[in-house]
Amino acid sequence: MGRPPCCDKVGVKKGPWTPEEDLMLVSYIQEHGAGNWRAVPTNTGLMRCSKSCRLRWTNYLRPGIKRGNFTEQEEKLIVHLQALLGNRWAAIASYLPERTDNDIKNYWNTHLKKKLKKMQAAGGGEDDGAASEGGGGRGDGDGGGKSVKAAAPKGQWERRLQTDIHTARQALRDALSLDHPDPSPATAAAAATPAGSSAAYASSADNIARLLQGWMRPGGGGGGNGKGPEASGSTSTTATTQQQPQCSGEGAASASASASQSGAAAAATAQTPECSTETSKMATGGGAGGPAPAFSMLESWLLDDGGMGLMDVVPLGDPSEFF
């Protein structure tokens, strides 16, 4: 349509973010809140596209983000939500508030897809939707959601969803009842926080953690000296824990944002007002080392066997909205 790009191509910086840029962005958002992204580059002086700013914030700087080391529960949840929702990562991410859609997407493409393929090859085929959707290899991702949308007329769609829900429900029950001593995310995260792989600032959770610690500290210098990946005791896990109190601000933002586009995510929106309670529960559970994703709604869905189904949670009035 010849619409102008969201930002001038010339003079816009690309590539990995520097600590200084992160700091500028964080302090701006601290002051003005997230939103009005178009104004961010001009107001902060960042030579970045507004999209880039938003992405950086939502995927890395936003408080309360857990990185790496997906627990088995999370894995299963993702697999089954993917089977249900297709490649609607934002909607899936709304069920895992500590994970970003990008993170989930990456994890799916790099790990889960392969895993499922392997399982299927081994004759398992535990999962029709998700497994059959996969294409393998890099960049061959055939959007599951889209293919569903394209393939299934509305009538079939609902029937298929019912079947999927039944399957997913069963599997979720298994997943949630997994009494997982788990590879303790805290320790696992510490172990896997790759001292080596974080040569680039962008991938250094340590840096980001320090940055945000500075932010959290009233007048704490904003982590200005938090450059260089020197080893202090702080791991990504501790950072996450400390970031949690920020939940009221942006944790909800992404959920409600995705909710605006999807019925499934709208369900998650129902959670967001309870951020201070629900999410803080997670903060203590998940952040402190225990794998406690935001299962509250799913749990109630599962526990309430006959009554409240997912259908009640997810407005299915118009399936076309859903897919």
Of 27, 30, 38, 234, the one binding DNA by CB under 7 A: 38
What is d(CA 125, CA 49) in angstroms, rounded to the nearest whole number? 43
72 binds DNA (CB under 7 A): no
76 binds DNA (CB under 7 A): no
Nearer to DNA, 176 or 255 (CB): 255
CA 101 to chain centre: 4
> What does the block give as tokens for 195?
């001292």
Please work out, in degrees rounded to the nearest 5, the angle formed at the alpha carbon of residue 100 by the alpha carbons of 256 and 90: 50
156 binds DNA (CB under 7 A): no
Q: How far is the CB of 134 from DNA (least distance, A)?
A: 11
Q: Following DSSP, what letter does each residue of 251-310 receive, concatenated?
A: HHHHHHHHHTT-HHHHHHHTTGGGIIIIIHHHIIIIITTS---S-HHHHHHHHS-SSS-H
> What does the block give as tokens for 85?
């929702």
Q: How many residues bind DNA (CB under 7 A)?
A: 65
Amino acid at residue number 127: D
- For residue 134, what are the CA distances in angstroms to 61, 71, 109, 165? 31, 21, 9, 19
299 binds DNA (CB under 7 A): no
- Give the footprint of DNA on residues 99-128 (CB under 7 A): 101-103, 105-107, 109-111, 114
| Stretch binding DNA (CB under 7 A), from 51-59, 158-166, 272-280, 309-317 | 51-59
Q: How far is the CB of 50 from DNA (least distance, A)?
A: 5
151 binds DNA (CB under 7 A): no
Interface residues toward DNA, by CB under 7 A: 3, 5-6, 13-17, 35-39, 48-52, 54-56, 58-60, 67-68, 87-91, 101-103, 105-107, 109-111, 114, 138-141, 143-146, 194, 196-200, 202-203, 253-254, 257-258, 260-261, 265, 321
